[in-house]
Structure 1
């Protein structure tokens, strides 16, 4: 990693830590209060996937630098020192003018070399022409664009998850408040029934029925308390808040029940979707890969310049004596000409063309799929709102039935069993209402995602 990329990476981490620090400091002092907008903001800065996406963008910038470096001069130095412990022997014919008639042999052994030798050099190489280099530069820039789109897609996914987790907490909290009210109501009913039993106006069986109802409510309350705690921890995990930090959701469901906004998104035809940008960028990369394989048929040309100093001596003490060192310099060009590779490039090109067709088909399908997704999401939201309206009416009716049944029982013209059954029906209506409410909130988020307005 070069110094420029390192500084950029340090800068990004500094910004992230500046955003995290106030949150942690606040958490150490008191409970952190969060709105949905604040939760999304913190998540985009602290969520692990969001932070990794930011780092991936930095890595893509480094890739551009790597590809650019291939076209810059490459300078390398070298040093070699050799101690010839046993100098190799060469054989020459024992013939004039170098032969020695006094030696009875057809060949003469000749020891060529010295005990110590060394070489010090520097070599500069410069790419003059390489078609793949220019394609690689464009591909690196396109890859950086893709990482930007990937980052945007991940951020959209984080926002979607935060909204769903946030609404889950809100719904669970509302359910817990309602169950607490139900507990209070049934506890009062139990007191009244117990008093009537003591006075002889109610049977022991009636008291037992109410106790069973109360015990069931307590069990339901414990489950909702646990579900609420779990949903809060899941929200914190999505946001990127440490486990030990306490948070408080400062909004209610009424803050997100905006009829005007719902009507607006139902009339919206949608905006740009990052998935299309991702697909088109992948198509561009595939085309660049095709072009890169095509330019492999073109020769590459490189220039080089080398300078070296060589020295030798029979003794180590004189190995670095300047009088034993000599200079040499080289300059030239080299060209690599592809001739035959067993049809490797041809097959790669054929594969690239198939991949391009596949990506084009995917883009066409993605366009159609987005239209269907928008249509389906709108229908789901409308149906969820209708269901919510019906369940809200059912809850109100169930509450009315319970109150009337309770009054009849208190006046002695109704039975305890009717009160218990009315209470059970009310609980079921409330459960159905909150289930429909959650489905409507999630349907709204799904439509926002389909429209590209998260």
Structure 2
């Protein structure tokens, strides 16, 4: 019975392990865009901008307010119904409704609405930029996992060869063909490689851990990406001119768009500030009524009923209010001057953003071309080191070379293999960045 339980637990454990999800790059990016905290915060900024826009629309509407009050008066007080002083105790109430509308304010409301619309667009650009930044970060993290995993495979394969050589050398030392020092040299190499494998396993886990955190996942231990073997992505983007990519980037990348909307917002702020120079005209209409407990009919001497007082003592008001700014301690003037300075500042920031984008694209283009050359050089070096290692192995196997020289050749070959892995994924990421500036999806690694 106990044996059956153990077998059952192991069986379901293997099934659970087999069902661990393997994430693709596209899935990682899409999940990050839906769950990343920074993106969610940027979405809240868009919501706030939308509220501001709705309020700017509402500023054109008339307001409508009502009021009511109830009082118990003692001593000498003005009766609200008769407007006469009465030295007695009485109760009174009044109420009314009023409405007002802004008829003219130097187009301030109109400019505020325009600003709110631009601010909504700016917040959407910032959200898009945040998504772009997260997508790039996820892609880089994904490629780093691939590089670390391939590096680990290389180290393990190298250690397999070392262990085989160690076994063969042990036989030759036992036979008296090779000295004990050759065996010790290989044992040291095996131990060094074991340390390198442990470090590579740790680097792989850390890179997976980092990507899982970016995705807001908590199951760090089981997080993993697909086991597909990725080759080089298409290098067609390098066939285009850097200037063409830079022009396209100005349409696709949000940095310049954000700088442009910031400049437009500053210009609108200046227009709104200038509106304070103009008079404002406001129309209003109101209705009010009142009641007092001591109000009596002058003919009968009887108290006037509550309902009758409401229409006997009611009144309406209709009018216009004109405010003309004459002198306000230069506050309007100075505010306008501050807005002018702000416009100039954002104008320079826009120009700088365009220059920075051009510089970034040209740098990325140059990096991609150089990374291609570096990768191709690494491949040639690896092939040369492989041939040198095979030659050194042949000499070592027949006793024409010692273990130290053999290990030197092997180390050079292993370093060359590691360089190929490193330069390969660096080249892929450089190409993906360049494609990103050109508006191509970063999630395609085929």
Query: By the TM > 0.5 criterion, same fold?
Result: yes
- The Cα offsets for residues 315-359 of structure 1, whole Å up to 9 and x where unpaired, read as 9xx999435544232222222221111111111211222222222
Aligned residue number for residue 308 of structure 1: 288
Partner Cα distance (1:389, 1:288) in 2: 53
Aligned residue number for residue 165 of structure 1: 141
Residue 393 of structure 1: how far off its partner (Å) = 1.6
* Of 343, 353, 357, the match for 2:344: 357
Q: CA-atom RMSD, angstroms?
A: 2.8
Aligned residue number for residue 105 of structure 1: none
1:55 paired with 2:44, answer yes
1:373 paired with 2:346, answer no
Say which SS state the counterpart of residue 307 (structure 1) adopts: strand
CA contact (8 A) 2:237 2:435 kept: no
Alignment of 1:325-344 (within 5 A): 325=310, 326-344=313-331
Partner Cα distance (2:154, 2:169) in 1: 22
Aligned residue number for residue 372 of structure 2: 385
- Which consecutive residues of structure 1, in runs of 5 or more, have no partner in the other structure? 1-26, 91-109
Partner Cα distance (2:112, 2:38) in 1: 28
Partner Cα distance (1:46, 1:320) in 2: 66
- The Cα offsets for residues 100-136 of structure 1, whole Å up to 9 and x where unpaired, read as xxxxxxxxxx754643222222222222222211111
Alignment of 1:195-234 (within 5 A): 195-234=171-210
Partner Cα distance (2:396, 2:304) in 1: 117
1:277 paired with 2:257, answer yes
> Alpha carbons of 1:251 and 1:114: their partners in 2 closer, same or farther (altered >3 Å)?
farther
* Of 35, 39, 42, the match for 1:46: 35
Partner Cα distance (1:119, 1:354) in 2: 51
Please give the TM-score of this superposition, normalised by the length of structure 2: 0.82
Higher mean alpha-carbon deviation, 399-408 vs 154-163, is at 399-408
- The Cα offsets for residues 201-236 of structure 1, whole Å up to 9 and x where unpaired, read as 233322222121111111111111111112122223
Please give the TM-score of this superposition, normalised by the length of structure 1: 0.81
Partner Cα distance (2:158, 2:236) in 1: 33
> Alpha carbons of 1:66 and 1:29: their partners in 2 closer, same or farther (altered >3 Å)?
farther
Residue 443 of structure 1: how far off its partner (Å) = 2.5
Partner Cα distance (1:297, 1:234) in 2: 56
- The Cα offsets for residues 140-183 of structure 1, whole Å up to 9 and x where unpaired, read as 01111111211221222122112211111111111011111011
Aligned residue number for residue 104 of structure 2: 129
Partner Cα distance (1:197, 1:178) in 2: 28
> Alpha carbons of 1:236 and 1:285: their partners in 2 closer, same or farther (altered >3 Å)?
same
Residue 137 of structure 1: how far off its partner (Å) = 0.6
- The Cα offsets for residues 62-117 of structure 1, whole Å up to 9 and x where unpaired, read as 11111111221211222222233x53579xxxxxxxxxxxxxxxxxxx75464322
Partner Cα distance (2:421, 2:129) in 1: 31
Partner Cα distance (2:270, 2:118) in 1: 14
Higher mean alpha-carbon deviation, 216-225 vs 373-382, is at 373-382
Aligned residue number for residue 101 of structure 1: none
CA contact (8 A) 2:284 2:318 kept: yes
Aligned residue number for residue 9 of structure 2: none
1:82 paired with 2:71, answer yes
Partner Cα distance (1:125, 1:208) in 2: 97
Q: Which has the higher contact order (CA 8 A, sep 6+)?
A: 2
> Alpha carbons of 1:377 and 1:357: their partners in 2 closer, same or farther (altered >3 Å)?
same
Aligned residue number for residue 6 of structure 2: none
Say which SS state the counterpart of residue 394 (structure 1) adopts: helix
> Alpha carbons of 1:266 and 1:200: their partners in 2 closer, same or farther (altered >3 Å)?
farther
Aligned residue number for residue 236 of structure 1: 212
CA contact (8 A) 1:114 1:313 kept: no
Aligned residue number for residue 299 of structure 2: none
Partner Cα distance (1:56, 1:383) in 2: 40
1:259 paired with 2:239, answer no
Residue 284 of structure 1: how far off its partner (Å) = 1.1
Partner Cα distance (2:321, 2:243) in 1: 66
Say which SS state the counterpart of residue 314 (structure 2) adopts: strand
CA contact (8 A) 2:42 2:130 kept: yes
> Alpha carbons of 1:181 and 1:52: their partners in 2 closer, same or farther (altered >3 Å)?
same
Aligned residue number for residue 298 of structure 2: none
Partner Cα distance (1:29, 1:213) in 2: 35
Say which SS state the counterpart of residue 245 (structure 2) adopts: coil
> Alpha carbons of 1:250 and 1:114: their partners in 2 closer, same or farther (altered >3 Å)?
farther
- Which consecutive residues of structure 2, in runs of 5 or more, have no partner in the other structure? 1-15, 79-84, 296-302
Aligned residue number for residue 395 of structure 2: 408
